[in-house]
């Protein structure tokens, strides 16, 4: 196997380049629950199955970081776009929220595919945001959750620790740990430097998607992000009427009536400037939460404030190590 960084690197004794593969991929590995009667796979970290065949976790030997290995077509635009945003010029730009590509591995036995080495991230709804100011994304956006879970989590099952033990206790607040950073991922159907594109694929069924009539991909992005706010925030939580005007501004059916990304950001800044600290830091109310009496809601709000103060005082706000 060969890396785009040069040199030949073979899969040998369970090591792939600078990465250590999961136990089950190592030569000679034996399932520990088969060694003694009365043991069950669910009780072992090695017994957690891979939920996505094209995505496997590994550990980078040079620094101990967990990474993902993603099997993809050698012609996928994800490679060029990922490497562009991972370049030295753009990697440290604070405006860059694109998932960095750490390496691209080529395999002579499978010349039509490559393996992307990418950072270890977490779904943005795991845990759910606790206050208004915490989140603005969905779908192909993930977060660096290391501030929330300094002990880590299992790459294939996020509600357990890396050793397979179930997490207990309440989830920390993102604001209490100093915030988390979000990343756009999965550029497999993305384009570069094109003002008009064709295509009908994507997570959001946008009005203009077509394989015959070209459309503006930038106005499509604005629509998709507006619908992300709708799905992730408004549809799942109550008390967020202040964000509805932004969503309506970003999601007209006609692309020509939508703002640019810069104009949408300006609109949000205007809306946010009119919100008080109390409004921005209030507890989010899930719509599936049982109806509360005024006393019950007050008690839950007070409990959230106390936990938030405790998290702020006890959880490290020190930035985690860089992803790359």
User: From residue 262, how far is each of 88, 99, 265, 299 by CA, in Å?
Assistant: 25, 21, 5, 40
Query: What DSSP character marks residue 274?
Result: T
- Does the pTM surpass 0.85? The reply is no
Alpha carbon of residue 64 to chain centroid:
21
- Of all helices (H) and strands (E), which one includes residue 279? helix 277-281
Contact call for residues 34 and 132 (beta carbons, < 8 A): no
pLDDT, tens only, 80-99: 998 999 998 898 888 888 88
pLDDT > 50? residue 287? yes
Phi, psi (deg, nearest 5) at residue 191: -130, 165
Q: Where are the alpha helices (DSSP H) in 103-257?
A: 217-229, 244-250
* pLDDT for res 47: 66
* pLDDT for res 30: 74
Higher pLDDT, 33 or 246: 246
Q: 208-236: string of b/e by CB count within 10 Å (b at 16+)? A: ebeeeeebbbebbbbbbbbbbbbebbbeb
Q: 148-171: string of b/e by CB count within 10 Å (b at 16+)? A: bbeeebbbbeeeebeeeeeeeeee
pLDDT, tens only, 195-245: 999 988 877 888 999 999 999 999 999 999 999 889 888 898 887 889 999
Residue written as token pair 């796979």: 41
Higher pLDDT, 138 or 237: 237
Q: 137 pLDDT band (50/70/90 cuts)?
A: very low
pLDDT, tens only, 154-176: 877 778 888 778 887 766 677 76
Angstrom distance (rounded) from CA 48 to CA 155: 10
């Amino acid at each position: 196997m060969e890396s785009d960084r040069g040199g030949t690197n073979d899969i040998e004794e369970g090591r792939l380049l600078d990465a250590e593969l999961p136990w089950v991929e190592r030569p000679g590995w034996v399932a520990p629950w088969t060694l003694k009667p009365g043991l069950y796979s669910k009780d072992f970290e090695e017994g957690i199955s891979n939920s996505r065949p094209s995505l496997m976790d590994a550990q980078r030997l040079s620094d101990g970081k967990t990474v993902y290995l993603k099997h993809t077509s050698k012609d996928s635009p994800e490679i060029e776009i990922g490497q562009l945003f991972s370049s030295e010029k753009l990697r440290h730009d604070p405006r860059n929220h694109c998932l960095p590509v750490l390496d691209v591995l080529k395999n002579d036995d499978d010349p039509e595919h490559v393996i992307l080495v990418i950072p270890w991230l977490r779904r943005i709804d795991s845990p759910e945001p606790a206050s208004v100011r915490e989140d603005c994304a969905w779908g192909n956006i993930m977060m660096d959750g290391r501030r929330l879970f300094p002990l880590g989590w299992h790459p294939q099952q996020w509600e357990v620790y890396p050793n397979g033990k179930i997490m207990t206790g309440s989830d920390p607040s993102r604001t209490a740990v100093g915030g988390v950073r979000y990343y756009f991922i999965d550029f497999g159907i993305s384009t570069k430097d094109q003002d008009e594109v064709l295509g009908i694929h994507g997570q959001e069924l946008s009005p203009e998607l077509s394989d015959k009539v070209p459309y503006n991909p930038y106005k499509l992005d604005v629509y998709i992000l507006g619908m992300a706010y709708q799905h992730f925030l408004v549809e799942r939580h109550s008390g967020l009427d202040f964000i509805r005007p932004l969503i309506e501004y970003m999601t007209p059916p006609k692309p020509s009536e939508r703002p640019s990304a810069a104009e949408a950001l300006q609109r949000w800044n205007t809306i946010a400037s009119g919100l008080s600290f109390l409004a921005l830091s209030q507890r989010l109310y899930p719509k599936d939460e049982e109806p509360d009496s005024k006393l019950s809601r007050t008690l839950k709000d007070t409990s959230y404030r106390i936990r938030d103060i405790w998290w702020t005082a006890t959880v490290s706000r020190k930035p985690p190590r860089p992803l790359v």
